[in-house]
Amino acid sequence: MRFLWLLCALLCQGQVSFPRPIAELRAEALAARPPLETGHFREPDLTDLATLGGGLRFDIRYATPNNFMGTPLYSEARAFLERPAAEALLRAAATLRAEGYGLLIFDAYRPWYVTRMFWDATPEKLHGFVANPQKGSKHNRGCAVDLSLYYLNSGEPVAMPSAYDEMTPRAHPAYPGGTADERARRDLLRKIMTAHGFTVDKGEWWHFDYRDWPRYPILNIPFAEIRRAAGGQ
């Protein structure tokens, strides 16, 4: 999400404080309802990426305290995408394997209530840094994924021109700095993801939106409910 690095920096410096306790914000967000949408949408078919193979690895930051809120936002460390997006992601992973890389997933589907929590926890003067819950996000539609690369031969994450969620000029997909190798890996990721139906976010090299995102509704389904519907434990 855009500018989370800056927001985190302000929080850590004590320049921003949450207006109310996180537990209170969570309760309100869970009780709220997403915006009503008009039009015809595809039936959601969220797929657990961990069940698909393809060498995908996971570092789900919002299931840990390692995020700008400083507390777990997800109930489980899982990543879901709408099935066509998930299948396209697997095709991208297969292409990258030939180059010696695997995909490292940071985030994918995000329940709407989490987007609401981001908004409510952020001071009004910083609302430009987070998604407006009245509009929702492509993550809420199960058609956005945050990811990077790892080396197949070692399992280690690659170095990119910036860290994940580091919202500085280094995060821009066309940032000219960093090393030649870092830029080459970033550009390879973009090239392969684009070839398989994704578009990179204009400010984040790691954020990719699947081309069919307008065809899916904003969702607010908890991870556990998705897993139960799929027959999981």
pLDDT in tens, 171-198: 899 999 999 999 999 999 999 999 999 9
Domain map (residue ranges) of the chain: 45-112+132-229
Across the chain, mean pLDDT equals 89
Say if residue 78's pLDDT is above 90. Answer: yes
pLDDT one-digit tens code per residue, 104-151: 999 999 999 999 998 888 778 767 667 899 999 999 999 999 999 999
Exactly one of 43, 124, 182, 204 is catalytic; which is it?
A: 204
Output DSSP code: residue 67: S
The set of residues, in sequence order, having a beta carbon less than 8 Å from that of 177 and lying 6+ positions away, is 161, 169, 170
CA–CA separation, 1 and 218 (whole Å): 17
Q: Select the CATH number that applies to the domain covering 45-112+132-229 from these four: 3.40.1160.10, 3.30.1380.10, 3.50.50.60, 3.40.50.620.
A: 3.30.1380.10
Q: How confident is the model at residue 221 (pLDDT cuts 50, 70, 90)?
A: very high
Whether 204 is a known active-site residue: answer: yes
Q: Which of 167, 133, 138, 145 is closest to 25 using CA atoms?
A: 133
